[in-house]
Structure 1
């Protein structure tokens, strides 16, 4: 029987190391940092813990061994991620985003790019190296990132334009990004690298006009704004970034014309990690409320767990946690089989677990009643953290559900493939589902797109960013 949920000795050691780090090093920092109103300071308060994480191999362990990484499997990553997210998923997101930024280099970069950028990330003797995944853009008209694969030309989809200066062998970047994680770095002067998705062909749509480019720390022409103050995941840094005539060597670009595939695969790889993060948060909430229910009487003559309503509620939550952990592991195992090409199942696990366990955490709060709102208890924080899962990491409605739908639309889609762990090849034809939905101002959609094929100048672009 190939299916076995028993951890190997090596996995048990990995779990123990991750748990010890989370409880002994990370946990003492979390409450104070979460309550810190200065978002950059809160992020910086975790730097010492991050360095320890780097020493343990958790910060870059998912990168291939031949470039200095740990080469850990997606399933092993699940084990580490659950233990860290059970203490704070915001901190765990810092680690996850290293992967979102650097795994695309491993998948799509040239051998020279892999040796340079992955080798640099894994060989930092101080353990401070951090990478930014710079994709998301601000809301507006146009704006946002969910329709990155829109078939229309600029300004549909991505707005950060990279124009090739052939004479100097450089791309010139103009535009803004909003929400990227880790991008500002520990000192708000930039991560060691930012892996940016840019529009290299403004007159082409998102399936052909996007590319990826590595922007090193210290590159002129970039302004990092104060990190966004958020409801949850407060300990990870999300910036607004302005690019003004930012010049980057052309050799730093990769996946030229295939930036859409980079986005799709990266957010596939992160799907099971986001799913297990939801498990970690729900697990902590469940364990806390279970202990509470065994001692709190609510003025009655026995602890509230003796009441059927509370007992059934806790049993229901326990079942959801176990089901979601199994789904997370299944999705991670599938990605291990096919070099992270599991676009449907990766998205499914992220959507299902995040939404299922957000509701579970709220149900647990109902068992505690109004006491759950008291910040003396950690449950209100668990709800804030759980609220993030359906919204971040290629939001469920914005991108992940649409990716599942796109795979299912394919004429060759096998509805039993995931159950049987058979491969599903992801193609550009699976992208763009639902992006072209209505005419604008009475014009047919294709003519409406044509009106916007002329991109603004660098000057107007910079003014718009300000």
Structure 2
């Protein structure tokens, strides 16, 4: 067996394209959405709309949809996405989230939608025009790690005539949920508990949890009060990511919007968030790469009052070495995880969870090591380190917190009788 870590010519081309796009369109994005006249998260979000439009025209959204469904995703979609995400996150965090949330929001439709549902719901994301947004409406107030047992989970009650779902409840922190105008994303894949009738007893567990697709047209067909979005609180990082608090009040959607079957919701949620876990690993790699490159350039350039650049000091070099080793380890784990996920058609999940935990926690440490190289200079807002640190600090918490979700997923995997400790390392061929 030959082991190679060389990207294919197509992946190298994708990497160069992503690097060029990021250099032109993302390098200055942070200055745009943090300008003095931007006073709310939604205003910051709307300020990135032109860049999202450019990304759509460049095919970065249609590339998240399989070619069999009209998109342009390649044979290794998760690995390709990891390559692209790292390049983007070197320069910015918020804009890529708006662009790439399509893959998460549309995942249930792609995995379990009917032919008719896919044709309708994917259409806005295939045209390479406009600024379509997709969202997976999952998180709720109070936390969602134990959503399957949560009796207060957003509900979808079957109407008396059986033709509609009547949705009540609320979501927050879901990227793109409110859309550009707080009247909803183009497609919302909403996680909810389906009840057969009004006042039906709520049985907690997976058996009645489903995903229901909601479109802007569905929202517009209801009273305005049926969908209410409130600007989210200011956040530590990801300052132009829109995840408003949304309340559903008797929002009616056609019964045909059910994705898959009732009870299939947890399976679809798990599969969607497993792929996104590897993407967090790639996000962390982008942040770590930015920190390392800035710290290395500073160390080679600045003497800090001495007679030669500080890179010649062992204490500085040691920090740079530690930064580079953690970056390379995180990238290799992320690429391995994405490659295994692609090759197994989503069955090999262990690496994705490990990549999310390891890379997200390494990112904060790497940024702090870089700040130690610069010293007080790293505090300056002229440097990237303050915002790199803020964004890095969010990574272990979002997309399934490392404590309550990702480590528990790994724990459950390890506890299984059939778990093979060498399967991920050797591609399921540990017997050899």
Name the CA shift for 1:145/1:373 in 2 (closer, same or farther; >3 Å).
same
The residue number in structure 1 matching 2:67 is 65
CA distance, structure 1, for counterparts of residue 385 and residue 191 of structure 2: 37
Residue pair 2:284, 2:395 contacting (<8 A) in 1 also = yes
Structure 2: gaps (5+ residues): 196-200
The residue number in structure 2 matching 1:54 is 56
Structure 1: gaps (5+ residues): 425-466
The residue number in structure 1 matching 2:425 is 419
Aligned partner of 1:333 among 339, 342, 360: 339
Name the CA shift for 1:2/1:252 in 2 (closer, same or farther; >3 Å).
farther
CA distance, structure 2, for counterparts of residue 104 and residue 228 of structure 1: 28
TM normalised by structure 1 equals 0.85
- Work out whether 1:237 is the aligned partner of 2:259: no
Q: 1:225 Cα shift?
A: 1.2
Cα deviation digits, residues 234-272 of structure 1 (max 9, x gap):
122111000000011111012321211111111101111
Cα deviation digits, residues 131-169 of structure 1 (max 9, x gap):
111100012xxxx2011233xx623xxx20111114051
The residue number in structure 2 matching 1:154 is 151
Name the CA shift for 1:423/1:348 in 2 (closer, same or farther; >3 Å).
farther
Please list, as runs of the form range in 1=range in 2, the aligned pairs for 1:339-378 lying within 5 A after superposition. 339-378=345-384
Computed over aligned residues only, the root mean square deviation of the Cα atoms, in angstroms, reads 1.7
- Work out whether 1:303 is the aligned partner of 2:309: yes
Aligned partner of 1:223 among 214, 220, 228: 228
The residue number in structure 2 matching 1:16 is 16
Q: 1:105 Cα shift?
A: 1.0
* Local SS of the residue matching 1:215: strand
CA distance, structure 2, for counterparts of residue 87 and residue 306 of structure 1: 28
Please list, as runs of the form range in 1=range in 2, the aligned pairs for 1:30-429 lying within 5 A after superposition. 30-35=30-35, 36-72=38-74, 73-123=77-127, 126-139=129-142, 144-150=143-149, 154-155=151-152, 159-201=153-195, 203-218=202-217, 219=219, 220=222, 221-255=226-260, 256-422=262-428
Residue pair 1:43, 1:235 contacting (<8 A) in 2 also = yes
CA distance, structure 2, for counterparts of residue 30 and residue 314 of structure 1: 26
CA distance, structure 2, for counterparts of residue 3 and residue 89 of structure 1: 32
Residue pair 1:268, 1:342 contacting (<8 A) in 2 also = no
Q: 1:423 Cα shift?
A: 9.5
* Local SS of the residue matching 1:238: coil
Q: 1:186 Cα shift?
A: 1.4
Question: How many matched pairs?
Answer: 414
CA distance, structure 2, for counterparts of residue 344 and residue 310 of structure 1: 35
Name the CA shift for 1:230/1:322 in 2 (closer, same or farther; >3 Å).
same
Cα deviation digits, residues 391-435 of structure 1 (max 9, x gap):
1111111211111111222211111111122299xxxxxxxxxxx
* Local SS of the residue matching 1:98: helix
Q: Which is further off, 281-290 or 35-44? A: 35-44
Residue pair 1:96, 1:270 contacting (<8 A) in 2 also = no
TM normalised by structure 2 equals 0.92
Q: 1:12 Cα shift?
A: 1.7
CA distance, structure 2, for counterparts of residue 407 and residue 57 of structure 1: 37
CA distance, structure 1, for counterparts of residue 318 and residue 138 of structure 2: 43
Q: 1:19 Cα shift?
A: 0.9
CA distance, structure 1, for counterparts of residue 136 and residue 176 of structure 2: 7
Residue pair 2:291, 2:366 contacting (<8 A) in 1 also = no
